[in-house]
Chains A and B, each alone.
Chain A
Amino acid sequence: MEKALRQKARELLESGSVRLVIGYEQGSVPFKCTPLFAETPEEAERLIWNPTCVNNLAVYLPQVISQGKVAIVVKPCDVKSVVELIKEHKVNREDVVTIVVPCPGVLNLDGLNGLDLRDVKSVQWGGEGIIVECSSGAVELARERSFLSKCLSCTIGKAPLADIEIGESPIRNPLTDKHTCVAEYEKLSPAERRMFWARQFAKCVRCYACRQACPGCYCNECFVDKKGQMWLLRATDPASNWFFHTSRMMHIAGRCVGCGECERACPMGIPLTLLGTKLDKEVEEMFGGRAGESPDAPPILGCFEPTDPDPCPE
């Protein structure tokens, strides 16, 4: 797979049809990858494709697209972010080449708990999920333990926007439903939900990693940074933290593709995908559409039908 990927990337760069290939390369340790911005065929040789490739690289598209055509290595789920960016005219369809890689699921680092991470040599797909080569031998980890939860509910067959497909998408056998994690949450009363989030947001340090990692958050001037109108304090008081997260989520609602980067980036372990998934469920129930599925579909919350549900009380 990696060979085919590198070859395709090399061809694109050599022919000059793209000026940049965004992909993954080996990180500073075997169980992490890091984004690669390959501008030459030689740099494209460093591309990798393995379970460590968790990042949603679509987040980089808005900042690089102005300088010319770009190819981007995307998992089928990440493609949905590209679809949304095209829908919102942040990226022109003709300026991006999606290289879709076949993805059985990517690594949840917590799944490696119990192993001495210093001994890890490589992380590859195999067996029931992932095979971790350690200096003491190989360890097989079932996907329930080693995949991100979004991967356990993945049903994506053909990616909505695949210019180049490296290999075939694996047959999907989801263990859970996309909205399963929300079911437990929905059992909570509003007061319990408020307490839950109060406890979570109290940890927030306002590092904005969630915002910076989100491909949907591309505003040149975010509402938190507006100086003329102080919508919220820069302080981490409960009200400001609450306002930041709920407002950001409302801006993302209908556009969130569930990539989970916000939660992965958060250093404080705040379960942001719970909010995103809950909103995604609400949007689907109310308006029938889901973000990122078709580039031709209009933005879900960006237009309305007279028949849209109106849950406001009479």
Chain B
Amino acid sequence: MEPKVIAKTDITQWLKSLADRFEIIAPVREDGVTLFRHVEDFADIDLATTPATGTLREHFTPKTETLLEYEFSDSGAEVRSVDPGAKEMLIFGARACDAAALRYVDAVYSMVEPRDEPYFIRRENTAIVGVFCNEPAWSCFCTEVGDFLSSPIEMDLYLTDIGDKFFTEVFTVKGEELVSHPQFQQATEEDGQAADTVRQKALSRLPSHVDHASACLSYDWEHPLWKKLAQKCLGCGVCAFSCPTCHCFDIQECPKVLRGSRYRCWDTCQFEQFTLMGAGHNPRSSKKERTRQRVFHKFKYSMERYNMLGCVGCGRCVALCPVNMDIRQVIRELESKKG
């Protein structure tokens, strides 16, 4: 489909007309952080913070999700599945990195049968309206690991702010449905050029592509930097819980005597108990092993297993790490010539 435009002042009207069918999720700023939340007042939407502090993860695999409920009975026990709602979601204001990360998580959750059904039920019921990053943050480096900023994936629409309107690219059938509303007009050549100008300006402020995909395959297991990183790493979960590709979870029980539930919640390889076994053996008992695991997993293991990098360069970990562990620096050092 040919690109469209929509006036910024028409966005609210457009979203309102979609609100019957979709639950609208958009970035909202509150108390200094921007999180993707269910919005009803579209004036609250924050498209300035790049990227949002939070990721889309909450809406596909919530930080806590009940999987099943059980009840003890005369016949022993009964168990029933707890299903995610069937309401369609529309995510408005996702960044290219947020959407690209979904392709990675899709691969993780479906590579081996059975696929992660709760995740895919939500995923298949969600439309994604992405927005181009006119002002990338100092921590952004998506262009270093991929070209999805210019050629986005996993989006239905891609909006580029060209002043008083959004230049709108349509990628899917769902996207065509979304723009079949009176607020959208055909884009002119000028609109296209304005979008190009905006794009070029943003790209000029971002790093160039580096072939991490090849380089990561020979990362050094015994590199001296692991010890150094382990010394300063606090061992918290900020990097993992702010990462759009992180997908690890814990499964725990919530007992209430005669009945209860089983839930899953976000977990991270950065926690000491992640690989701790019942009898006490822990293959990653020190921070050195856990820090190394994170970097190897995001890069080398992801390439080996999914033929995709596990990092989309959103820079959240870079911006949020309390001790300035900068993954860009780490991989640069791992990839620099030795000796």
CA of A261 to CA of B322 in the docked complex: distance in angstroms? 8
Which residues of chain A from 235 to 266 have any CB-CB distance to chain B below 8 Å in the complex? 235-237, 261, 264-265
Q: Does A205 contact B322, Cβ atoms closer than 8 Å?
A: no
Give the most central of B33, B137, B318: most A CB within 10 Å: B33
Residues of chain A with a CB closer than 8 A to B237's CB: 205-209
Closest B residue by C-beta to A35: B232
Q: Does A203 contact B138, Cβ atoms closer than 8 Å?
A: no
* Interface assignment of B165: CB less than 8 Å from any CB of chain A: no
CA of A117 to CA of B137 in the docked complex: distance in angstroms? 8
Stretch of A25-33, A175-183, A184-192, A287-295 that contacts chain B: A25-33
Residues of chain B with a CB closer than 8 A to A208's CB: 236-237, 271
Which residues of chain B from 191 to 237 have any CB-CB distance to chain A below 8 Å in the complex? 205, 228, 231-232, 234-237
* Interface assignment of B31: CB less than 8 Å from any CB of chain A: yes
Return the contact of A34 from the options B53, B323, B328 (Cβ within 8 A). Answer: B323
Residues of chain B with a CB closer than 8 A to A1's CB: none
Which residues of chain B from 106 to 124 have any CB-CB distance to chain A below 8 Å in the complex? none
Closest 3 CB pairs of A and B: A28-B326, A207-B237, A209-B236
Q: Does A235 contact B64, Cβ atoms closer than 8 Å?
A: yes
In the complex, 30 of the A-B residue pairs with CB atoms within 8 angstroms, ordered by the A residue number, are A28-B329, A29-B326, A33-B324, A35-B323, A37-B231, A110-B32, A117-B137, A118-B138, A118-B205, A205-B241, A205-B266, A207-B237, A207-B241, A208-B236, A208-B237, A209-B234, A209-B237, A211-B236, A212-B236, A225-B273, A233-B252, A234-B252, A236-B265, A261-B322, A265-B234, A265-B236, A265-B322, A267-B242, A267-B320, A271-B31
Q: Does A203 contact B323, Cβ atoms closer than 8 Å?
A: no
Residues of chain A with a CB closer than 8 A to B324's CB: 27-29, 32-34
Closest A residue by C-beta to B267: A234
Q: Does A117 contact B138, Cβ atoms closer than 8 Å?
A: yes
A74 to chain B, nearest CB (A): 16
Closest B residue by C-beta to A268: B33
* Interface assignment of B238: CB less than 8 Å from any CB of chain A: yes
A210 to chain B, nearest CB (A): 8
A265 to chain B, nearest CB (A): 4
Q: Does A55 contact B35, Cβ atoms closer than 8 Å?
A: no
Closest B residue by C-beta to A59: B234
| Contacts A27-B326, A233-B254, A267-B241; A212 near B265 (Cβ below 8 A) | no
- Over the window 31-71 of chain A, the binary record of Cβ atoms lying under 8 Å from chain B Cβ atoms (1 yes, 0 no) is 01111010000000000000000010001100010000000
Residues of chain A at the chain B interface (Cβ within 8 Å): 27-29, 32-35, 37, 55, 59-60, 64, 110, 116-118, 200, 203, 205-209, 211-213, 225, 233-237, 261, 264-265, 267-269, 271
Residues of chain A with a CB closer than 8 A to B70's CB: none
A-B contact count (CB 8 A): 106
Interface residues on B, range: 35 or more
Residues of chain A with a CB closer than 8 A to B138's CB: 29, 116-118
Residues of chain A with a CB closer than 8 A to B266's CB: 205-206, 236
- Over the window 9-20 of chain B, the binary record of Cβ atoms lying under 8 Å from chain A Cβ atoms (1 yes, 0 no) is 000000000000
| Contacts A35-B232, A118-B138, A269-B33; A28 near B328 (Cβ below 8 A) | yes
Give the most central of B232, B252, B320, B329: most A CB within 10 Å: B232
- Over the window 142-161 of chain B, the binary record of Cβ atoms lying under 8 Å from chain A Cβ atoms (1 yes, 0 no) is 00000000000000000000
Give the most central of B31, B234, B254: most A CB within 10 Å: B234
Return the contact of A55 from the options B236, B265, B322 (Cβ within 8 A). Answer: B322
Residues of chain A with a CB closer than 8 A to B53's CB: 267-269
* Interface assignment of B63: CB less than 8 Å from any CB of chain A: yes
* Interface assignment of B171: CB less than 8 Å from any CB of chain A: no
* Interface assignment of B44: CB less than 8 Å from any CB of chain A: no
CA of A60 to CA of B230 in the docked complex: distance in angstroms? 11
B248 to chain A, nearest CB (A): 13
Q: Can you name 18 extra interface pairs (CB under 8 A) apart from A29-B138, A225-B272, A267-B242?
A: A28-B324, A29-B326, A32-B324, A33-B324, A35-B231, A60-B231, A64-B231, A203-B33, A203-B35, A206-B63, A206-B266, A233-B252, A234-B250, A235-B252, A235-B263, A236-B63, A268-B35, A271-B31
Residues of chain B with a CB closer than 8 A to A110's CB: 32
Closest B residue by C-beta to A270: B31
CA of A267 to CA of B31 in the docked complex: distance in angstroms? 12
CA of A134 to CA of B272 in the docked complex: distance in angstroms? 41
| Contacts A34-B323, A203-B33; A213 near B234 (Cβ below 8 A) | yes
Q: Does B235 contact A212, Cβ atoms closer than 8 Å?
A: yes
